[in-house]
Amino acid sequence: MRYILAIPMKAFLDILEQLYKKVLLGVTLENENHDYIFYLDPASLNQDCSTMTSLECPNPHGVQDKHQPSSANLATISVLPMCLEKHSPIGSAREIVLLQLTVIKVMITRILSVETDFRAKEKYRDVIKILLKSSDIDSKLTCMFQDSDKLLSHMAAKCLALLLYFQLREKITFSNSWIAFCQKNLSEYPENEKAGYCLWTLTFIIKEIFKDTCSQKTEILKQFLSPFDTIFEVFYSLLFSHHFESCQDTSKIINSLICSLELLELLIASRIHLKLHFTCQRILFLKPSCVLDVITWPVQAFVKRKFIIFIKKCLLWKVGEDLCQGASPVLLPPDQHLDVDILALADAILRAVDLGLLRTLSVHGKPPRFGGEEVQPTCERAPGPDHVILRAASLLIIKSLEIKFQSCTSANEMKVDLQSFMSELLTFLKPHLQPSLQSHNPCEWISRVFIEQDDDMLEAAKASLGIYLKLTRQHKATESSTQEKEMWNHHTHEYGYNPHCIFLFLLKNIGFDSSVLLDFLISSETCFLEYFVRYLKLLQKDWAIFFTICKDFDLTASKDSINICGCSSSLVQDRSSNQTELSPSAAFGRPRSVHASVSWASDFSSGSLSQLVMSKETHTTLQADSLSPRRASHSLVDYDSSDDSEAEGTDQHSANSKQISLHQEAMKKSQDIVGTGMDKKQLSLEHQSRPLVPKQSNITFSVDCDNVPKNVSEVGVSYRTLKCFEELQSAIYRLQKKNLFPYNAIPLLKLLKHIEAIYNESMNTL
């Protein structure tokens, strides 16, 4: 039975406001479920925007009172559904629709909240289910997408997204009209302007799935993505094949780019963090050149910045970290396409660089700020490049080279590629770094470019270390003369990937402060643990080369200190204070500024690279008397033992998948290892062999122009490095003893102990 009843708009609005207040407080609704449906059914506006058109309403009870209710008190809604009177003011009509959408949104939010009372939640759930069945609400909301009222269209999209997510949670099948709406609009891009609302709605739903704490995320997302897997691929092909230059309204395509990028990131994140494998999750890897081309489009700087950062996160397999509430993703079953996809992306990046990507990449735009790119005319803008772009571009190249070399077997091919791309990168960076890298050791580029971004700096250092290890294995298999060794050593410095220089510049940036290294080790936000362990294993084998590089650093520092003495005595005082030896208590003291030791010289003249090559006599002595490093039987991530050191595995998929859960796995192992009587005893015995540096060498390090120390081995870079290791070892030991260290530290302490033994042995031979 259908009927028409009139109700003043003010009375209708009052009743709706009462309902809103009840739902906002999470109060259990008292009336029959059907009594609320009419008030929640969004009414659409007439073409002349003068009246509400949803006038016919079903009588839920079959009848009884056909007259308008005399009153509606605040406690209950005791009226039957009735229709609005005609000729309502447009302002009131808009307010009613917005309030209806708000009530629906709050009601669904209450259903999803764990804090809502069970009885109230069940009542809200029943009301929403009846609303979905009794009205074509999907169509009504999508009709509002193109409304000139932006607030109304936004609220309609948000309300629809929550209703769709509710259906996913309740395992209610989507209406065919909604699926058809999305498929039609996405496949007709760019002619159809409703594609943007589809993208926003789909993105919102996936975000809600990620935020949900339920254990059925994977099943919910699978149900959601299944109808859209094919259409996503069609849409992205249309989007990236669009010619930006020929577009009259660039704002629309920019909005589409931003929305599509956010959706693409969520799709890839679901591949990493959930056990799902859809074709739409591989769009970037199947057509990487299309996404890279956007960086060269004449679009605003913030768009290029978003895309290059997105590609960087994809290459590092770090997409979606902010969606998982700080938890590291668990190790997932092997993705059969992962190795191929990552390699395809790396190859595409290197091809783009080879075709001149860096030469077309402008970094002189307005620097990014939290409030946007514009500044007040009266405010001065600090000159300089966009360091976000510099860091991202640099990391893309060094990481892509590492990935490509993992599957490469030709030493010559790797050497040519490294020389070509690193020359291109250093040339690109040269005009943006002051003072220029030309007068510095090229290996300093990582510390200079990434000084404000620790996580990226350590990723770049780890990637360069991986390149060095791969090339070293290939080089040692073919080298035959001392001259070839010298040329190889010179090559590692000339193209900025010598791991010892890179590590020393890292220590310089943090003022040789062991507390900073400790923070890096404890933090799960960087890859320092993996990088540090791999570097210490290398240091055991390359001690002679490391020691020679330290002597060259000392020699350069001495020359600079003498030159500075003739210029300013005040600078000498600053240098002396900056180069004072770190106290053992610094491990828990106040961290020093990364600029504290800027005066510690790092300048390398063009001829000083030859000094990095050891003399034959020194090399022979150290080789004969130094400790022979033991070989490892386990890889880095098999972190139970670091007694031995062997070449790391080259499986890139293993490296990527294990990297993201390194701390999680290490912490799990610590539950099995840390705390046992044997391990604590072993840890205690190992710690007793102090001090790390001989007592006769325990002097304050300072540079005095009138009295330059003769024995630089006692006060130079090698001493400061080992002193930093000693303080780090003591700090780790104290935390481990109190079970405060987040993972099993015994293997790391063994590595540091072995470095200590090598250092002491080398000191005895001098």
Mind listing the pLDDT tens digit for each residue in 136-149?
888 889 888 877 88
Element holding 343 (H helix, E strand) = helix 338-354
Angstrom distance (rounded) from CA 342 to CA 331: 17
> In this structure, are 318 and 387 located in the same domain?
no
The answer to whether 467 touches 498, Cβ cutoff 8 Å, is: no
Cβ partners under 8 Å of residue 281, min gap 6:
267, 268, 270, 271
> In this structure, are 296 and 437 located in the same domain?
no
Residue 229 lies in a domain: yes
Domain boundary among 173, 202, 237: 173
**The pair of three-digit structure tokens given for residue 445, joined into one six-digit string:** 């580029």
Residue 180 lies in a domain: yes
Domain count, the chain: 4
Domain boundary among 173, 190, 212: 173
> In this structure, are 5 and 126 located in the same domain?
yes
> In this structure, are 399 and 432 located in the same domain?
yes
pTM exceeds cut of 0.85: no
> In this structure, are 269 and 303 located in the same domain?
yes
> In this structure, are 311 and 213 located in the same domain?
yes
**The pair of three-digit structure tokens given for residue 565, joined into one six-digit string:** 């003495």
> In this structure, are 179 and 210 located in the same domain?
yes
**The pair of three-digit structure tokens given for residue 673, joined into one six-digit string:** 């290892």
Instruction: For residue range 53-79, list pLDDT tens digits in order.
Output: 333 333 333 333 333 333 333 334 433
Alpha-carbon separation of residue 686 from 440, 633, 675 (angstroms): 40, 22, 16
- Low-confidence residues in the chain, pLDDT < 50: 1-5, 44-88, 326-331, 370-371, 564-714
Task: Check residue 89 and give its pLDDT.
Answer: 53
- Taken in order 324, 326, 332, 334, is the CA torsion positive or negative? positive
Residue 253 lies in a domain: yes
Angstrom distance (rounded) from CA 473 to CA 530: 20
Domain boundary among 313, 341, 369: 341
> In this structure, are 139 and 181 located in the same domain?
no
> In this structure, are 472 and 551 located in the same domain?
no
Angstrom distance (rounded) from CA 625 to CA 763: 10
Residue 607 lies in a domain: no
Angstrom distance (rounded) from CA 512 to CA 18: 65
> In this structure, are 430 and 496 located in the same domain?
yes
Q: Which residue from 627, 624, 613 is spatially nearest to 489, judged by alpha carbons?
A: 613
> In this structure, are 179 and 168 located in the same domain?
no
Residue 658 lies in a domain: no
> In this structure, are 141 and 283 located in the same domain?
no
Residue 294 lies in a domain: yes
Residue 36 lies in a domain: yes
Q: Domain range for residue 407?
A: 383-510
Task: Check residue 202 and give its pLDDT.
Answer: 94
Task: Check residue 437 and give its pLDDT.
Answer: 62
Residue 22 lies in a domain: yes
Task: Check residue 372 and give its pLDDT.
Answer: 53
